Amino acid sequence: MTQRAITDPVIPDKEEVRAEWTSRARYWDRWADQVADMAGRFNAPLLDALELRPGHNVLDLACGTGEPALSAARRVAPGGLVVATDLVRAMLDSVRRRAGDLGIANLACEQADMERLPFPDARFDRATCRFGIMFVPDAIGALREARRVLVPGGRIGLLVWGPIEDTTIMTAIRAASRKVLGVDGRQFDHPFRFGADGALDAALRAAGFHAVAERALRFAPEIPADRPFWQPMLEMTLGPRIGEAGAQARAQLDGEIRAQLAGNLDGGRYRLQVHVRLATGAA
Ligand SMILES: C[S@@+](CC[C@H](N)C(=O)[O-])C[C@H]1O[C@@H](n2cnc3c(N)ncnc32)[C@H](O)[C@@H]1O
């Protein structure tokens, strides 16, 4: 993918991004604890790849409700600290609540735009960003900022979605929300803009990282079909829109997602595909 494609102008501007995520924050807080196990399956390979160890200072960019910041904090104790950052204050309130509930004390929260980090050079040993870099208009600029605040040789790890077609539930949500709510399918373009093989690798190199490596992580979850397992993903993606549309639209959405997933039903279980991409680089 070319640098021009990576910085595709379909990304909404910063204040639109902030407003959008502020409106979604209460849905993220509502579901954060219940999806923590699933989140852990994504966090483990990311944190393993960075070889986190006690004493490391870690910066988590676009932390949302605390993934992977909370898991990282456990790995760097004792002696290490995680600074969890996000553009949206309400997300950080959720991280503080979760850290308190989990008894995690070596974690600090700071509101920060990853395009302009409020930290001195060489402040951190590691940086993480899970499902965040795609929302930044100038992704390469943000990665340069991350490199600036890492010690020389410090490492970054990023996780993004692969192509949307490779993640069954997101394809189903896109189709159902288009049909029931009239959501413009392009809303689903930018979250997947680093999905192509080599796109993250190219962005990290363009930002000056070396020893860059990118790989696919594929999961094949099998989920009992007796409940609407998509509820967290649906509400975290479209909660404000569904809230406005009302209960009837919500029921229609569930029905449409069920129809979309019918081909994946086998012996009372949904057999799904998930594709995320993991890239690491050294400052
Ligand atoms: C998909 S969520 C990912 C949250 C978390 N890392 C996770 O994986 O669960 C994207 C997050 O990016 C944040 N975000 C968007 N633009 C940002 C920016 N310029 N700087 C920092 N955070 C940003 C949003 O507020 C939101 O919390």
- CATH code where residue 159 lies: 3.40.50.150
Helices (H), 154-230: 168-181, 199-206
Q: Are strands 269-271 and 265-266 parallel, antiparallel or unpaired?
A: antiparallel
User: What's the confidence (pLDDT) of residue 185?
Assistant: 75
Helices (H), the chain: 3-6, 14-32, 36-49, 69-76, 89-102, 139-149, 168-181, 199-206, 231-245, 247-260
User: What's the confidence (pLDDT) of residue 3?
Assistant: 44
Q: Does residue 232 line the site of ligand 1, with CB under 6 A? A: no
**Nearest CA, atom 8, ligand 1:** 130
User: What's the confidence (pLDDT) of residue 10?
Assistant: 65
Structure tokens, 279: 């890239």
Q: Does residue 136 line the site of ligand 1, with CB under 6 A? A: yes
**Closest ligand 1 atom to 136 CA:** 19
Q: Within the chain, which residues score under 50 in pLDDT?
A: 1-7, 9
Cα Rg of the chain, angstroms: 18
Note the Cα 235 to chain centre separation in Å: 15
Q: Does residue 170 line the site of ligand 1, with CB under 6 A? A: no
User: What's the confidence (pLDDT) of residue 8?
Assistant: 52
CB count within 10 Å of CB 128 equals: 32
Determine the structural domain holding residue 260 and report its residue range.
3-282
Q: Does residue 60 line the site of ligand 1, with CB under 6 A? A: no
What is the number of structural domains in the chain?
1
User: What's the confidence (pLDDT) of residue 9?
Assistant: 43
**Nearest CA, atom 15, ligand 1:** 135
Q: Is the full-model pTM beyond 0.85?
A: yes
**Nearest CA, atom 17, ligand 1:** 87
CA distance 99 to 19: 25
Q: How far is the CA of 63 from the centre of ligand 1 (A)?
A: 6
User: Which mutation among 13, 135, 143 tests ligand 1's pocket best, with the greatest number of atoms within 8 A of CB?
Assistant: 135
CA distance 38 to 50: 20
Helix 168-181 vs helix 247-260: crossing angle, to nearest 10 = 140
Q: How far is the CA of 160 from the centre of ligand 1 (A)?
A: 12
- Among 111, 206, 219, smallest CA distance to 162 is for 219
Q: Does residue 63 line the site of ligand 1, with CB under 6 A? A: yes
